[in-house]
Amino acid sequence: MKILTVLLTATSAAVALGVPLANAQSNSLTVAWYGGNWGEAFQACVAAPFTAQTGITVVADIGTSTTTLAKLQQQASAPTIDVAYLDGGISELAQAAGVLAPIDLETLPNSKNLLKEAAYRDSDAVFAVSGGYYSLGLTYRTDEINEAPTSWEELWNEDHVGAVTIPSPSNSAGVPFIFFLNRMLGGAPTDVSETFERLSQLDAGLFFDSSGAASNAFQSGEVTIGAHFNVGAWALADSGVPVTFVVPQEGVWATDARLHLIKGGPNPAGAAQFLDTAMSAEAAACLAEKLYLGPAITGVDLTPEVNRKLPWGEKGSVSDLNLSDWNEVNGRRAEITERWNREVAR
């Protein structure tokens, strides 16, 4: 009965996506996702259960969001990828590039539990669904700082001169983090002058281009406080590095890892079923336990230990996250990066 249900769901999705029934089933599916512990978690939490349910083998295409988008654009006429995980921001660029297929949520049973804000639309068409949220909050070494910081203003504390880190515009969080700081400092949306003046006064030990570089800097002691992702910070803490992650009183900047169907992908029916598996409570709970991703669906039961490490902190929820207007960020990315290079990265 379970196999029959899966086949009927896949066939329904195939019809909704305009796929001939003769081609609705295939024994493999190519999914683009990130490397490292992210890819390992996607394999364990989504791909393995999907294969167990459907018999379809998942082939991982590992890369960053930007490299995946470049590949999708290069392969637009004959894509080899069926499903792609892309970060917020790159997701909007992929939709604008015309490489994504619409997602018919009505054919996916688990979508009934999807948070309203976790379905991304272009006009009336859904082009992405969230696979889980992560945030950029304050991280610090507990062997160097005794009292937990409560504000982002702590970055400018003279006690931390030369030992602070924040993302550079080369990191996906860099430009939106500047917009976040600008709101925090009371700047007008179109005027980031005060924010750049403050950033130019920041005596940083590292402007990190990758989350791995930030983790290495905290691990080595090169930096003692700064902005870091809850995923990376808690991974360090779990491995025994004396660091912890806090949600400051001004909140945290956040985004999510999103799933997309690829236009013209080889196995659209299997791809739709993969998205359905990714929206299950079991997958969301598994990703929360392995990566501390905040679930994008309702009805996920987690332990207090996992709950406190989610992107919104122990007592928060997705409504507490500061999520970016990616169209604004992408539209001003070049301008902000040029100003950063001129005024901050001197």
Mean pLDDT in runs of 10 for the chain (346 residues)? 37 42 66 96 98 97 96 97 97 97 98 96 96 98 96 97 96 95 91 95 95 96 98 97 97 97 97 98 98 97 96 92 93 95 90
pLDDT at 25: 53
pLDDT of residue 315: 85
Give CA–CA dist 144/160, Å, rounded: 10
The CA distance from 51 to 294, in Å, is: 24
- pLDDT tens for each residue of 173-182: 999 999 999 9
Q: Which residue has the tokens 């989610």?
A: 310
Question: Do 88 and 322 meet the contact criterion of CB atoms below 8 Å apart?
Answer: no
Pick from 291, 248, 280: nearest CA to 110? 280
Question: What's the length of the chain?
Answer: 346
**Three-class SS of the chain:** CHHHHHHHHHHHHHHHCCCCHHHCCCCEEEEEECCHHHHHHHHHHHHHHHHHHHCCEEEEEECCHHHHHHHHHHCCCCCCCCEEEEECCHHHHHHHHCCEECCCHHHCHHHHHECHHHEEEECCEEEEEEEEEEEEEEEEECCCCCCCCCCHHHHHCHHHCCCEEEECCCCCCHHHHHHHHHHHCCCCCCCCHHHHHHHHCCCEEEEECCHHHHHHHHHHCCCCEEEEEHHHHHHHHHCCCCEEEECCCCCCEEEEEEEEEECCCCCHHHHHHHHHHHCCHHHHHHHHHHHCCECCECCCCCCHHHHCCCCCCCCCCHHHCEECCHHHHHHHHHHHHHHHHHHCCC
Please give the pLDDT value at position 18: 39
What percentage of residues in the chain have a pLDDT greater than 70? 93
pLDDT at 20: 36
All domains of the chain in start order, with CATH:
2-133+255-313 (3.40.190.10), 134-254+322-343 (3.40.190.10)
Q: According to the model, what pLDDT value does residue 16 have? A: 43
pLDDT for 105: 98
Amino acid 67: pLDDT: 95
In this structure, the strands spanning 125-141 and 119-122 are: antiparallel
Nearest CA to 200 out of 250, 166, 246 is that of 166
Tens digit of each residue's pLDDT (9 = 90 or more) over 245-301: 999 999 999 999 999 999 999 999 999 999 999 999 999 999 999 999 999 999 999
37: left (phi over 0), alpha (psi -120 to 50) or beta: alpha
